[in-house]
Chains A and B, each alone.
Chain A
């Protein structure tokens, strides 16, 4: 049996059109209790009543729902783990919750004002997010620990419209900007106002840019887009619960099988992927996962060959392995499932983005994710980005609008021919990773450096 008390506090600020578009402050706390009932299965019940009576009722409910499960091959084994003890807290230099709302709004208002001016700008948004999650965990195995994580960040985005065309630009990333396991210092370091005029100009320029041409060509991906590429076509594909078909009805399965570990060539020899829950600043970092397994760093892919998967205690037990420490739950009212931690592309040795591009006679450079889709086995994907540039004779050329590219996971990663070096590597946070029923959003990070791929389909169905 495990019990997790979770208190989560968040503040989301949003500015648009020179006004504060919304301020949402959320506080929730409660306890989730998971029980394994031999011969039946796992039961889980969540309650906000953290009283003796409330907890006893929740425990009884968890046992009752497990006992009502039909007799089947349900597994209730969990991979063994030494009981965790202690306290862990993430680094937070400037506590966002101690700053006044006005101070934080001022930064957003300044940045958003710099997005506007041209009548073709139909919407500008500056937003920030701060989340604090405090967890206390105890299990019948003897674990008892607490941890506190603080997340902070934000971004700006702008829409331009004219003559039936609509274009969007964002900084530093789409979908809410850049959020890290850090304090307000992370938001300040993004320097949103400095980048606002540039993205507004780019959104306007895209309105009249030629569309991304269709065909197969060399593709250079910016690091932010590459983060989502890794997330969808590597991270999810290597979740052991999916591999074992445990998520087949909703999130889907995987093209990888358990027997592939150690032999499957996932990508070119340049492909090295780590899962590292100890990475400073990563949204997938913690002291212990939500089953009490100590944070760890694991190489998932080395020299292009599959070496390990992401697992929790339940999926690991099914293959007789130790847990990979990747069990995470979205708040007190959800049970832990296999999630990514910080799944990253290790830096290469090909220098800077400019050096990657300098070796391309003809190709396309794409950055900032706008659209994403992949099949339920994580094979066929299609992505769209906010912006692209033509590459000619080793130099960036004209802007291209509505860029898209598509591929099949192993073919794509085997076409990887260059990864930029460590100075170009950075962490990108994702807040909207959905999985599980009832649904759970995981906050994860991916470290990436720009990379180059040969012979990729671009401009899908222009």
Chain B
């Protein structure tokens, strides 16, 4: 199907809610995921599916229904469910939903690659072969995933919104592992599968596997260099904890009372943007509101939180284009394209140079929130944790647990690399939704280690 086909389907779905304030959203996913372990392919999954979400608005309430049965009987059933849901909700009194947004011009972007959209399985096969060879040459085994997808989307609403978008994304993760379980990680995400260099990823992952015995690090506070992937994970959590406009309005957010105040080091400037090079572009959010760059932290000063139509009404402001679901998610909006400005360090080695004794973290794993108001997180390091001694990355460490505030780490940040990297945690649960964090690596003066696996 083409975006024109998606739009025609959205119009047809909307016609089943004629007379109501309503929105129809069509999302078509075609994707391929190929997984590997122990230098052998393990699973290959090809998906082709279309979903239609119908939102009916009645007296400040929303009712939503979705289906992948896109014939008229299927759409009529979904429309009936959405209308019944809105009517049942409206019986509880007037609701707080302010109504569907009005049409606005949406930006174009270059986030679509026709070759990637062809989803050639042979491209995946070649990438796996290159990763296997790259690891084998270094006496290691390869684990990971290669994936590519095309997602086309259309929204039609009773307020006159008619927008379409088409995006592609491709990514590969390679974990190189030796027989003692020491592992290294490298990953890459881009709009085009052609930008994924499997051999280079295998080499980079292998370079993080040290032949030396791993040391144990005692709990305590250490200077740290966080590589791009680790920084991205912290920022992704901060996005949910600090910049969710609904949580902020309900006094649950980590930046409550702090807008306009210093919350990070002056070298920290964080925005949400789908425009810059290296991002995963997107034209509009789940309500059809255009995506525009938004400064969240400027030189350490908190500037804004993000909104969808629902949270904006609560905060007496306008949507910033961050709805995650038609009508706004009950859990509120979130930034999905965070961009942390780069600094002046040319290399990771330059970041490490001032540290007498600290740690280098390749990536974080199983991070979760401990106390949301403090943005206090816990999680493990994984696939390449090293001791920094006398300014140089040295002996490997057993993985450690950190328990620290993302805001505290940003406040302790001293220097960032100039080079940013797109780190994607593309949502492969449910309908594919490509998103990512564009960020540099950083050095922070304090990072709290609370335990470890050893």
Partner of B380, one of A253, A373, A439: A373
| Bound Cα distance from A61 to B48, whole angstroms | 10
CB contact list, A356-408 vs B, under 8 A: 371-377, 379-380, 382, 384, 402, 404, 406, 408
Cβ-based interface call for A201 (8 A): no
Q: Judging by beta carbons under 8 Å apart, are A47 and B49 in contact?
A: yes
State the Cβ distance, B132 to closest chain A Cβ, in Å. 7
With A48-B68, A245-B143 as known contacts, state yes or no: A402 contacts B371, CB within 8 Å: yes
Interface residues on A, range: 35 or more
The stretch of B118-126, B335-343, B413-421 in contact with A is B118-126
Cβ-based interface call for B104 (8 A): no
Cβ-based interface call for A86 (8 A): no
Q: Judging by beta carbons under 8 Å apart, are A246 and B42 in contact?
A: yes
With A27-B67, A461-B448 as known contacts, state yes or no: A376 contacts B39, CB within 8 Å: no
Partner of B177, one of A23, A248, A250: A248
The stretch of B155-163, B290-298, B424-432 in contact with A is B424-432
Q: Judging by beta carbons under 8 Å apart, are B41 and A382 in contact?
A: no
Q: Judging by beta carbons under 8 Å apart, are A70 and B129 in contact?
A: yes
| Bound Cα distance from A109 to B88, whole angstroms | 12
Q: Judging by beta carbons under 8 Å apart, are B380 and A380 in contact?
A: yes
Q: Judging by beta carbons under 8 Å apart, are A22 and B124 in contact?
A: no
Partner of A371, one of B45, B62, B369, B427: B369
With A62-B46, A438-B428 as known contacts, state yes or no: A166 contacts B252, CB within 8 Å: yes
State the Cβ distance, A395 to closest chain B Cβ, in Å. 28
**Quick one: closest B residue to A332, CB to CB?**
B49
Chain A residue numbers with a CB within 8 Å of B48 are 45-48, 58, 61
| Bound Cα distance from A72 to B136, whole angstroms | 12
Q: Judging by beta carbons under 8 Å apart, are A377 and B453 in contact?
A: yes
Cβ-based interface call for B382 (8 A): yes
With A29-B68, A30-B49, A48-B50 as known contacts, state yes or no: A105 contacts B37, CB within 8 Å: no
State the Cβ distance, B208 to closest chain A Cβ, in Å. 14
Chain B residue numbers with a CB within 8 Å of A122 are 250-252
| Bound Cα distance from A245 to B74, whole angstroms | 42
Partner of B93, one of A18, A247, A461: A18
> What is the size, in residues, of chain B's interface with A at 8 Å between Cβ atoms?
97
Cβ-based interface call for A42 (8 A): yes
Partner of B65, one of A25, A61, A372, A441: A25
Cβ-based interface call for B370 (8 A): yes
With A14-B330, A382-B403, A434-B429 as known contacts, state yes or no: A376 contacts B37, CB within 8 Å: no
Q: Judging by beta carbons under 8 Å apart, are B92 and A105 in contact?
A: yes
| Bound Cα distance from A74 to B129, whole angstroms | 13
Cβ-based interface call for B379 (8 A): yes
CB contact list, A402-442 vs B, under 8 A: 402, 404, 406, 408, 434, 437-441
How would residues 244 to 256 of chain A score, 1 for a CB under 8 Å from any chain B CB and 0 otherwise? 0111111011000
Q: Judging by beta carbons under 8 Å apart, are A159 and B252 in contact?
A: yes
Q: Judging by beta carbons under 8 Å apart, are A25 and B82 in contact?
A: yes
With A26-B66, A65-B32, A166-B373 as known contacts, state yes or no: A250 contacts B145, CB within 8 Å: yes
Cβ-based interface call for B69 (8 A): yes
Chain A residue numbers with a CB within 8 Å of B430 are 439
Cβ-based interface call for B7 (8 A): no
| Bound Cα distance from A75 to B175, whole angstroms | 20
CB contact list, A54-72 vs B, under 8 A: 58, 61-62, 64-70, 72
Chain B residue numbers with a CB within 8 Å of A74 are 40-42
With A72-B132, A379-B453, A441-B429 as known contacts, state yes or no: A24 contacts B64, CB within 8 Å: yes
Partner of A438, one of B36, B47, B65, B69: B47
Chain A residue numbers with a CB within 8 Å of B369 are 371
Chain A residue numbers with a CB within 8 Å of B373 are 161, 164-166
Cβ-based interface call for B354 (8 A): no
Partner of A249, one of B35, B129, B250: B35
CB contact list, B135-156 vs A, under 8 A: 143-145, 147
With A375-B380, A440-B429 as known contacts, state yes or no: A66 contacts B44, CB within 8 Å: yes
Q: Judging by beta carbons under 8 Å apart, are A30 and B68 in contact?
A: yes
Name which of B43, B46, B47 has the most chain A CB atoms within 10 A of its CB. Answer: B43
**Quick one: closest B residue to A73, CB to CB?**
B40
Q: Judging by beta carbons under 8 Å apart, are B451 and A380 in contact?
A: yes
| Bound Cα distance from A61 to B49, whole angstroms | 14
CB contact list, A1-52 vs B, under 8 A: 14-30, 40-48
Q: Judging by beta carbons under 8 Å apart, are A375 and B89 in contact?
A: no
Q: Judging by beta carbons under 8 Å apart, are B453 and A70 in contact?
A: no
Q: Judging by beta carbons under 8 Å apart, are A69 and B125 in contact?
A: yes
Cβ-based interface call for B439 (8 A): no
Name which of B49, B63, B82, B448 has the most chain A CB atoms within 10 A of its CB. Answer: B49
Partner of B121, one of A18, A65, A253, A460: A65
Cβ-based interface call for B81 (8 A): yes
The stretch of B109-117, B225-233, B270-278, B360-368 in contact with A is B360-368
With A46-B47, A69-B125 as known contacts, state yes or no: A27 contacts B66, CB within 8 Å: yes
Cβ-based interface call for B34 (8 A): yes
| Bound Cα distance from A440 to B91, whole angstroms | 36
Cβ-based interface call for A321 (8 A): no
**Quick one: closest A residue to B381, CB to CB?**
A375
Cβ-based interface call for A101 (8 A): yes
Question: Which 5 A-B residue pairings sit nearest by Cβ, starting from the closest?
Answer: A20-B89, A68-B121, A439-B429, A23-B85, A101-B88
Interface residues of A (CB under 8 A from B): 14-30, 40-48, 58, 61-62, 64-70, 72-75, 100-102, 105, 109, 122-123, 159, 161, 164-166, 245-250, 252-253, 333-335, 337, 371-377, 379-380, 382, 384, 402, 404, 406, 408, 434, 437-441, 457, 460-461
CB-defined A-B contacts under 8 Å, sample of 11 = A22-B62, A45-B47, A47-B48, A47-B49, A48-B68, A105-B92, A166-B373, A245-B177, A249-B35, A335-B45, A461-B403
Besides the known contacts A23-B89, A74-B41, A441-B429, 18 further A-B residue pairs in the complex with CB atoms under 8 A apart: A22-B330, A28-B68, A40-B41, A41-B40, A44-B43, A44-B44, A46-B48, A69-B44, A70-B126, A73-B38, A75-B40, A333-B47, A371-B370, A380-B453, A382-B450, A404-B403, A438-B428, A460-B450
